[in-house]
Amino acid sequence: MGGRGRGPKRELAEKIAGEITLSNDPGATLRKWRTDFDVSQTDLAGELDVSSSVISDYESGRRESPGIGVVRRLVEGLLEIDERRGGDRIRQYGRVLSAGFDSDVIYDLREYATTYPLEHVYETIEATEIASGHSDRISGHTVINSIEAITRLSSEEFFRLYGQSTNRVLVFTGVTRGESPLVALRVVNPTPNAVVLHGLESDDLWEHAADLARIDGYALSTSTLPLEELLDRLAGLE
């Protein structure tokens, strides 16, 4: 593996820089990463000692696409800001990358220091239970871009969503009815303790979802909490 021996910050810096440099729209890709890191144009400009308009011009395409040297400075600026804030985003992406996934497929993958009652997790992310499962405790979570995971991951890669243990909740985002992720889970054995379908009301759920969850033995729930807030709240469970 080429990344062996490098820390998550260096590996992440190379990934982001490469993605921006190779993008058909480098400005839009820069904006995506800046937004993911919750860094304002003003804060990034201040870190690099340039005016906010410079960042704005790069992101909008008004300024010629940045060369690799400028991209490296922009990326280092994002990472330095995150480090001063405690390094949460660097650790989050580091876990995802070390598990072998892209950050546009897996938003977060964590193991908890202790197990939590599933009911506590539901309260944390304002989830509505649809079906109960065989276990009412979890010790980790994986937050998954449903469409990207289903279209890009093999069954073996799907299994790696479990991280260190199946004793976890899989949160599938971008769900319209829930049919695709629940059918996809049928090819993976064993199943997780719990599944949360994010982005839909329980009334809009696929009519066979609860039956499928009961057959496979996992708890099923829905949540409509905004994605960034859901990620922040789940991060607090560590």
Token digits for 63?
């300024």
Question: How far, rounded to the nearest angstrom, does the alpha carbon of residue 66 sit from its chain's CA centroid?
Answer: 27
pLDDT of residue 184: 86
Q: Quick check: 184 and 150 in contact, CB under 8 A?
A: yes
pLDDT digits (tens, 9 = 90+) for 13-47: 988 899 899 888 899 899 988 988 889 999 999 99
3-state secondary structure 165-233: CCCCEEEEECCCCCHHHHHHHCCCCCCCCEEEEECCCHHHCCCCHHHHHHHHCCEEEEECCCHHHHHHH
User: Residue 5: pLDDT band by 50, 70, 90 thresholds?
Assistant: very low
Instruction: Output b/e per residue, 73-90; b: 16+ Cβ within 10 A.
Output: ebbbbbbebbeeeeebbb
Higher pLDDT, 172 or 190: 172
Q: Is the pLDDT of residue 4 over 60?
A: no
Q: How far apart are the first and last CA of the chain?
A: 29
Token digits for 218?
């996992």
Higher pLDDT, 50 or 99: 50
pLDDT of residue 160: 81
pTM beyond 0.85: the answer is no
Which amino acid makes up residue 226? P
Architecture of the CATH domain 102-235? 3-Layer(aba) Sandwich (3.40)
What is the dotted CATH code of the domain comprising 8-91? Answer: 1.10.260.40
Q: Quick check: 185 and 219 in contact, CB under 8 A?
A: no
Sign of the alpha-carbon torsion through 206, 212, 214, 220: negative
Q: Is the pLDDT of residue 168 over 70?
A: yes
pLDDT of residue 185: 86
Query: CATH 3.40.1390.20 occupies which residues in the chain?
Result: 102-235
Q: Is the pLDDT of residue 1 over 50?
A: no
The mean per-residue pLDDT over the stretch 63-80 comes to: 90
Q: Quick check: 30 and 58 in contact, CB under 8 A?
A: yes
Q: Is the pLDDT of residue 95 over 80?
A: no
Q: Is the pLDDT of residue 154 over 60?
A: yes
Q: Is the pLDDT of residue 145 over 50?
A: yes
Q: Is the pLDDT of residue 123 over 90?
A: yes
Beta 194-198 vs 219-223: how paired, if at all? parallel
The mean per-residue pLDDT over the stretch 115-143 comes to: 94
* CA–CA distance, 159 with 179 (Å, rounded to integer): 18
User: Residue 87: pLDDT band by 50, 70, 90 thresholds?
Assistant: confident
Q: What is the DSSP string of the chain?
A: -TTTT--HHHHHHHHHHHHHHH-SSHHHHHHHHHHHTT--HHHHHHHHTS-HHHHHHHHHTSSPPP-HHHHHHHHHHHHHHHHHTTSHHHHHHHHHHHTT--TTTEEEEEEEEEEEEHHHHHHHHT-EEEE--S--EEEEEEEEEHHHHHHH--HHHHHGGGTT-SSSEEEEES-SSSHHHHHHHTTSSS--SEEEEESS-GGGS-TTHHHHHHHHT-EEEEE-S-HHHHHHHHHTT-
The mean per-residue pLDDT over the stretch 138-143 comes to: 92
The mean per-residue pLDDT over the stretch 153-164 comes to: 80
